[in-house]
Amino acid sequence: MATRAYQPETDEPVLRLPIYLAHFQSGVMFVTLGPLLDSVMRDLGIPLAQGGVPALVFALGNSVSIVFLNFFLARVTVQRILIGAALLEAAALAACGLLAKGLWSFAAACFFIGFPSVILTAVPGMWVSAHIRRQTAWALNLMMLSSALGMTVAPLILGALLGQGVNWRWIYVGEAVFVLAVAVVFALVPLEDISGRERLGLRQLRAIAAFNPRLLGLIAGGAFLYLGVEMTLLTWLPTFEVDVFGATETLAGLAATLYMVGQVVGRLASIPLTRRFLASSLLFVFSVLLAVFLGAVAASPTQGISLVLTFTAGLSSAASLSLLSSYSSRFPHWHAGVVFSSVEFSGGIGAMVFPYLVGPVAAAMGFRVALAVVAVPVLILAGIAVGFRRVTREAEPGTARGAA
């Protein structure tokens, strides 16, 4: 199906403070469960085979909130959406720390933490996709760098607090206080709205799908695989270090930190690359490298080597999500924001499936096998990168051309 090009609304990407802050906060939330999971499982008596349930329910909250965001909140300004999401997250974090008594009450709290968390991720991405139509990958990479910073700092702080004997419950309560401060910033700093947003109905869904159904399918499939893998690593890497190498809680949290340090370094290094090379080419190379390094982490003979390889895995995965998401800008007008939110929805489904499956596989076959299997969907993502090249007929990196 032939498509026509759409002119960018702005020539240069300009991001706003709430965009960075929302992504930083969402990064903290997405990485919190991993470092705390071992302590939570021991305290609440959760068996290893059910250790993936909280991550599954957290991701379920992600996917449900995307539906809610597009079908019911389209008439609400993005600033008010961000404020409401932060307030809901603060309440859910406080409830998790103060009220959780077992697996299912803890999982229920995780659902209500996950629900606003993905809004804090999706709304900034929708904003960038709708407002910045040229050099979208560059802008998204810059935006997601703040999320990576949150994911880098949080495990280090959480591991240190656990090492000092701070109970996981008080950590959740402390995060609730921090999110309340974030909500105040959202209320004080204005953010331009996304013009023309409508509540999704059958007519809008048909229009979005008909514009380029193959491209939409590749975006959704790639998000399902990549975010499923990333949530698996953020959830289980610390427990992998404890189970395989007998690491302390502080060193176990360091695994997630090193993975995200690799992402920060990789994102900084990839910023100029997104202006020089095709997004599909970079996505292919990064996916192959990530699969290789995940297999190497699983086979590591010592903890030191595993931590070094965890850093290289983060380095190789750094720009994958921004590259994948940048294809949403090829859809017209506010539909681009809806397509970006489909990245979060599809990724939420993957984040439900993959982390949950790791628990039974690790219980039956060991953590090394479970982690090695995670490399398989990354290799499939490399194939999707080739599909992007064919569907979009990319000619110049960073442009917003229509696909054929």
Residue 2, pLDDT score: 31
What gap in Å lies between CA 386 and CA 171, rounded to an integer? 43
Residue 189, pLDDT score: 87
- What are the distances in angstroms from CA 369 to CA 243, 322, 372? 13, 29, 5
Residue 380, pLDDT score: 94
Indicate if the pLDDT at residue 36 is higher than 80.
yes
Report residue 82's pLDDT band, with 50, 70 and 90 as the boundaries: very high
Residue 403, pLDDT score: 33
Neighbours of 254 (CB within 10 A): 24
What gap in Å lies between CA 89 and CA 65, rounded to an integer? 12
- Give 237: exposed, middle or buried? Use CB within 10 Å, 0-12, 13-18, 19+: buried
CATH of 17-392, one of 1.10.3720.10, 3.60.20.10, 1.20.1440.230, 1.20.1250.20: 1.20.1250.20
Amino acid sitting at position 254: L
Indicate if the pLDDT at residue 249 is higher than 80.
no
Per-position b or e across 145-169, b if 16+ CB within 10 A of its CB:
bbbbbbbbbbbbebbebbeeeeebb
Q: Looking at 30-39, 137-146, 319-328, which range is the least confident one?
A: 137-146
Compute the C-alpha angle 258/262/239, nearest 5°: 35
What gap in Å lies between CA 342 and CA 126, rounded to an integer? 10
Residue 290, pLDDT score: 93
189 phi/psi in degrees, rounded to 5: -105, 115
Interval 125-157: pLDDT, tens = 778 777 766 666 677 777 777 887 887 788 778
Residue 1, pLDDT score: 31
What is the residue extent of each domain of the chain? 17-392
* Sign of the CA dihedral running 285, 342, 52, 23: positive
Nearest to 146 by CA among 96, 100, 182, 102: 182
Indicate if the pLDDT at residue 344 is higher than 70.
yes
**Among residues of the chain, what percentage have pLDDT more than 90?**
20
Structure tokens at 42: 């021991």
Structure tokens at 101: 């008594």
Nearest to 155 by CA among 259, 230, 62: 259
Indicate if the pLDDT at residue 87 is higher than 50.
yes
Interval 222-244: pLDDT, tens = 989 998 898 888 788 888 888 88
278 phi/psi in degrees, rounded to 5: -65, 140
What gap in Å lies between CA 368 and CA 377, rounded to an integer? 16
